[in-house]
A and B are shown apart, each in its own frame.
Chain A
Amino acid sequence: MAAQQEIAIHADQVSRHYTMGTTQVRAVDQVTLSANAGEFLAILGASGSGKSTLLNLIAGLDRPTAGAIFAQGKNLATMNSQELARHRSSTVGMVFQSFQLLPRMTLEENVELPLRLAEVERNERNQRVKEALERVHLSARLTHRPTEMSGGEQQRAALARALVNRPSILLADEPTGNLDSVTGEEIMNLLQEINQTLGMTILIVTHERPMAERFAHRLALMGDGKLMSDGHRR
């Protein structure tokens, strides 16, 4: 468990405030949270609690108003947009509630997209796509478009796309939110498998506490933009 002692992500007094009309919204307010390398961390909270905003800050999709976020020791708050793009491309992989696959692309093309953005050589791409799809058990659906697949398959495809660049951190925003309980459990099993076999740090944002308790190593609870509790489940 030596790897778990390394900190993969550390949010230090992170705030994300924005103004809506005349009101200032404190979406994330002075949150300090860490995830060790190889840890499976679930962030729980009701809608509007700031958990997705925190995940977006960790993903480098948004910038904090205050505080610092360290991913693999690098402070995202001081990175320029190019460096943040590189962070999103190579350090983290993202899975969304609504899958976010591009409907006009085949499964293979969707999974290949991050490799294009990361400028991976063409001769290497096929193998990487194949590996990623094998991991999520979708090797037979290469030429299918997202609209031809079920929700569970689409989320597995999204998972393959998140894994294809071999990131060290996987961020999942409500990955089971659009799925039925059985399919949701399949996805959670897959995430657990990835965490265990690849030693990948996983942060999921969910409001399904029972599911989070079953699969995550640790649960963090957010409410009104603040971190309400942060404790090990087991």
Chain B
Amino acid sequence: MKVRDMTELAVRNLRESMLRNSLTTLGVAVGVASLVAMLSLGVGLQELASKRLSRSGLFDAVFVTTQGNFREFGRSRPRTAASGDPRVLDGDARHDLAHLPGVTEVYPDVRFATEVRYQGTPYATMVAGVPASGLASGAFDGMQGKFFSSGNADEAILQVEFAREITPQTETLVGKNLELRYAERQALPAEPDPRASVGSTASKKTEKPPADTHGSSPAAEQTPPPQGDDASPLGGGFSIVPRQKMLRIVGVVDSEPAAGFGGIARGRVFIPLQVAEALRATQANDLRDALRGRTGKPSYLSLTVRVDGPSKVKDVEAAIKQMGFATFSLLDATKNIRLVFAVFDVLLGIFGSLALVVSSLGIINTLVMAILDRRREIGVLKALGAADGDIQKLFFVEAGAMGFLGGLLGVVFGWLIGRALTLALNIYLRKQELPGIDVTSVPWWLAAGAIAFAVVVSLIAGMYPASRAAKLNPVEALRYE
């Protein structure tokens, strides 16, 4: 019999015993729903964890320091062949790093201890520059107020604990002004006697902020000079000039955005990275460079290299090491996380499948009953020319159809269960004043896999009834009343 005819007959048979077949299909649907709900929870939690980790910037970033730096984490320290000294992490290096394949963004870690004044009251604090990509880290989710309006806006976001030091009603700070006082480095003209000056970066004062480092343009074109000015003659040392800048508070955030692994202390006042770089505030590495008497270009304390996905971290890290810098990444940690979730998914899948196995017994029962009901019909079909294989296939198609429909319904039910779970969880989280999350996910492969699994289980369940129907003696079947 042709497939189309077979399918038509099977559908007709299924329609004939509508109630019984519907209940059996519903049984399959419940089994598939439990499987889908379980796995969607596993997948959802995995996606949630991956997304959070990915957004944290820890798994798609490489932290770069100069060889021999105190941040070197005990790594080997190859030296450049030419000088024997470690390569300096300067503007050129930043430019080179931005040109590596797979690199999307390179930015320095700008933090400095300083004083801010709110309505005349001074507060000692740590100011940190936040790249525009910091918004995607998720750390600003649910913040009071909003993120920076642009990369060079004179705006500030306060860490909530610091904001509470100013006023318990932290929300009232949004829109108010904050005066930032800081120590600006200013380059001194080069002097013939190096002993007369502190060898450090020279600074050419400019009001023009560095180029936007976080747009969609290639990373290589976004490289601003390090603090100070690489265009100025060096070796003249620097002086420190007290400066002040008025910033508008645009938000209050619970936690510090993880913009890399760096930082000598937790930031409490956040400003756009471009603004932070343009301030040329004195940082720890200025003194280090001065003490080392480095006569080269001004350098960065560290750079964070953001990579186009965790899979490329390894290659980029190797390339950076090849350039003569020390690196650090959390690549290995992601492997362990994936392993844990894979085991979790398998266990959830096993528990979810149990219900489907139980529902397959329903299919066997329904089809065995159908053989009894349709005994005479099977005899007629055989008398009219149906081969044993035709009868077998007919029952298989019926079992498969119940499995397919049950699988389809089950995916919908499973998805609904997942939605209900997420809804209930989010109601609870909202009561706890926590941001909402999506803990379940039904990706296309899970939906398709669940339907296919339901069909396969149904076909296996249909094997015995189909075989029994095929072996039915037509003479006896025709006599059956």
Contacts and interface: CB of A to CB of B under 8 A. Distances in A.
Interface of A: 56, 59, 61-62, 81-82, 85-86, 88-90, 94, 96, 100, 102, 104-105, 113-114, 116-119, 161, 165
Given A88-B383, A113-B381, 18 more contacts: A61-B382, A61-B474, A61-B475, A62-B474, A62-B475, A81-B387, A81-B388, A82-B389, A86-B385, A94-B383, A94-B384, A100-B383, A104-B16, A114-B384, A116-B1, A117-B384, A118-B385, A119-B5
A59 B383 contact: yes
A117 B390 contact: yes
Given A102-B377, A102-B380, A104-B16, A117 B385 contact: yes
B394 to A, nearest CB: 11
A90 B385 contact: yes
A119 B387 CA distance: 12
28 contacts: A56-B475, A61-B382, A61-B383, A61-B474, A61-B475, A82-B387, A82-B388, A82-B389, A85-B388, A85-B390, A88-B382, A88-B383, A90-B385, A96-B383, A96-B478, A100-B383, A100-B478, A104-B12, A113-B381, A114-B384, A116-B2, A116-B9, A117-B1, A117-B385, A117-B386, A119-B1, A119-B2, A119-B5
A85 B387 contact: yes
A62 B477 CA distance: 12
A117 B383 contact: no
Contacts of B380: 100, 102
Contacts of B16: 104
B185 interface: no
B375 interface: no
Contacts of A114: 384-385
A61 B377 CA distance: 14
A89 B474 contact: no
Contacts of A59: 383
Contacts of B94: none
Given A104-B12, A116-B1, A85 B475 contact: no
Nearest to A88: B385
Contact of B382 (A85, A102, A165): A85
Interface centre among A62, A100, A116, by most chain B C-beta atoms within 10 angstroms, is A116
Nearest to A102: B377
B111 interface: no
A105 B380 CA distance: 13
Contacts of A62: 473-475
Contacts of B381: 113, 117
Contacts of A81: 387-388
Nearest to B8: A116
Interface of B: 1-2, 5, 9, 12, 16, 376-377, 379-390, 473-475, 478
A102 B13 CA distance: 11
B167 to A, nearest CB: 80
Nearest to A53: B475
Contact of A85 (B5, B379, B386): B386
A116 B382 contact: no
A110 to B, nearest CB: 9
A94 B385 CA distance: 10
B9 to A, nearest CB: 7
Nearest to B381: A117
Nearest to A113: B384
Contacts of A89: 384-385
Nearest to B12: A104
A88 B9 CA distance: 20
A118 B385 CA distance: 7
A88 B384 CA distance: 6
Contacts of B388: 81-82, 85
Contacts of A88: 382-385
A117 B377 CA distance: 14
Contacts of B478: 61, 96, 100
Contacts of A113: 381, 384
Interface centre among B9, B12, B473, B474, by most chain A C-beta atoms within 10 angstroms, is B474
A96 to B, nearest CB: 7
A19 to B, nearest CB: 14
A83 B377 CA distance: 21
Contacts of B5: 116, 119
Nearest to A103: B377
A96 B376 CA distance: 12
Contacts of A94: 383-384
A116 B475 CA distance: 21
A118 B2 CA distance: 9
A94 B9 CA distance: 21
Contacts of B384: 88-89, 94, 113-114, 117, 161
A119 B384 CA distance: 12
Contacts of A85: 382, 385-388, 390
Nearest to A171: B383
Contacts of A118: 385
B13 to A, nearest CB: 9
Contacts of A96: 383, 478
Q: Which 6 A-B pairs have the closest CB atoms?
A: A89-B385, A85-B387, A116-B5, A117-B385, A114-B384, A88-B385
B376 to A, nearest CB: 7
Contacts of A100: 376, 379-380, 383, 478
Contacts of A161: 384
Contacts of A56: 475
A161 B381 CA distance: 12
B15 to A, nearest CB: 9
A96 B383 CA distance: 10
Nearest to B389: A82
B100 to A, nearest CB: 64
Nearest to A165: B385
A31 B158 CA distance: 106
